[in-house]
Amino acid sequence: MSTPTNPTPPTPPRGPTTPTNPRDHESNTLAGGLVVFAAVMLLISGVLDVLRGIMGIAKDPVFVSTPNYVFKFDLTSWGWIHLVLGLIAIAAGLGLFRLALWARILGIVAAALLIVANFLSIPYYPLWSVTVMAASALVIWALCVIRRDRGTAAG
């Protein structure tokens, strides 16, 4: 008589696995949502900054000007600054949809520069400058809370 041999146990299927811990799934969802939020906000801010730059270059009368401002620039100069920053923000926003690390870094830098530029241009377009500063701060937060090692929100 032959002795029964112990068959090897079947190997588990390879491929994407779902997290066993529901909290991991929640973190992954939160991380994805924050990146999408940052990408969309950068795209919106970028497009609007490009339009604002064009208005500045064309010397549109929509801008308010104060005569005694420490950081006074020519309106055309502000237009070019906002045009370039808007294009950078658009590039970072598009890169974030591909989850590229360079896009996260560029997004943080672009949002920080947008905060500075909008702070300096408060006398020209006050309410909008403050609004963009707040949105850019949220973008920086959203891109900074994502952990690099797992792509999940820090917590």
pLDDT in tens, 28-70: 554 578 889 999 999 999 999 899 889 888 877 766 666 676 6
CA gap 127, 105 in Å, rounded? 28
Angle, in degrees to the nearest 10, between helices 101-120 and 126-144: 150
Residue with structure tokens 């917590």?
155
* Residue 153 pLDDT class (50, 70, 90 cuts): very low
Determine the straight-line distance between the first and last CA of the chain, rounded to whole angstroms.
Answer: 61
From 40, 20, 19, 24, select the one nearest 147 (Cα to Cα): 24
Q: What is the pTM of this model?
A: 0.70
pLDDT at site 5:
63
